[in-house]
Amino acid sequence: MSSDPTDVADARRRVTELIRRARICMLTTTGVDGRLVSRPMGLQEAEFDGDLWFFAYANSAKVRQIRVNPEVNVAFSDQKHHCWVSLSGTAQEGYDRARAERLWTPILKTWFPDGVDTPGLTLIKVHAGSAEYWDSPGGAVVNLLGFARAAVTGRPPRVGENREVSY
């Protein structure tokens, strides 16, 4: 990745756009037995400054795993727009009522019936260390044509943009 500040800022902006659009992700933690465990999560913070926010129960397995090993991965997939983001970072858990109120959305009541007063409610903050994205905005037909061309020419297809960015 280029160290040009403009290039880095553009890549970070693109990561933000892709994350904002996808919203649902897979949060991967490390279990106490060392195996990787992934589960779907809904991103709460639409603006991305290097921190991602999620609601959880303080006694959940994911929170217990984060307390033991805070290194996590958050993967976003936007099938509709053919974009993917993999973000590595450090997670921490803690309840901040003011932040919870600011991040709260009505859909969360499905999982947390008493809103921000739900017993055991906590927040997970993931601070990004790095992210990598794959952006193939041409769509399925363009990608299929690229693969067909590659099969004929023997040259790898151009399937879009792939970039890494550090935070």
Cβ 11 vs Cβ 165: under 8 Å: yes
Name residue, tokens 């499905």. 110
Domains of the chain: 5-166 (2.30.110.10)
* Of 45 and 15, more confident: 15
**Residue 37 to residues 50, 65, 72, 73, 101: CA-CA distances in angstroms?**
23, 9, 10, 10, 29
Predicted model pTM? 0.81
What pairing do the DSSP bridges indicate for beta strands 36-42 and 51-57? unpaired
* Tens digits of residue pLDDT in 40-67: 999 886 566 789 999 999 999 999 999 9
pLDDT tens digits, 62-104? 999 999 999 999 999 988 878 999 999 999 999 999 999 999 9
Q: Please tell me the distance from the alpha carbon of residue 26 to that of residue 42, in angstroms, as a whole number.
A: 9
How many Cβ atoms sit within 10 Å of the Cβ of residue 151?
10
pLDDT average, residue stretch 31-44 = 94
23/41: higher pLDDT: 41
Q: How far apart are alpha carbons 3 and 107 in whole angstroms?
A: 40
Residue 115: both structure tokens together: 């809103």
Question: What band does 142 get if pLDDT is binned at 50, 70 and 90?
Answer: very low
